[in-house]
Amino acid sequence: KTEDWDSIAVISYVYGYNYLRSQCAYDVAPGGFLASVYHLTKIRYGIDKPEEVCIKVFSPRSNPQIPSVFWIWRSADFQERESYDMLGIYYENHPRLKRILMPESWIGWPLR
């Protein structure tokens, strides 16, 4: 569930997934859900092949809201902003959630 994502993110960090390799978002299907995808990695000294996990969080198109993971992985900053800018997913509690690629005057979400 979308509302469980913040707890799942904290648990993932506690279990060693200390690096957000990438975050992206996509439109699942016309009229369907929007998805935010997180690629997490366990970075440990001396390990050549770190453990990785991919987590997808789905949100309804009508009110796309997903808890931000900025406070856990700071690298989510620009990535969540890009997903907001392109698809209109609102990342709750993100400190600087505003357009990053499109002009502030742009109306709508280009990738929906």
pLDDT tens per residue across span 4-15: 999 999 999 999
The pLDDT score that the predictor gives to residue 47 is 76
The whole-chain average pLDDT of the chain stands at 95
Angle at 72 between CA 102 and CA 4, to 5 degrees: 90
CATH 3.10.520.10 fits 2-92, yes or no: no
In this structure, what token pair is assigned to residue 58?
Answer: 């789905």
* DSSP conformational letter for 48: S
- Confidence category of residue 27, pLDDT binned at 50, 70, 90: very high
Name the nearest CA neighbour of 111 among 38, 21, 39, 24: 24
Which pTM does this prediction carry?
0.92
pLDDT in tens, 31-52: 899 999 999 999 988 778 899 9
What span, in angstroms and rounded, lies between the C-alpha atoms of 17 and 111? 29
Residue type, 31: G
Domain ranges in the chain are: 2-92
Average of per-residue pLDDT across 75-103: 97
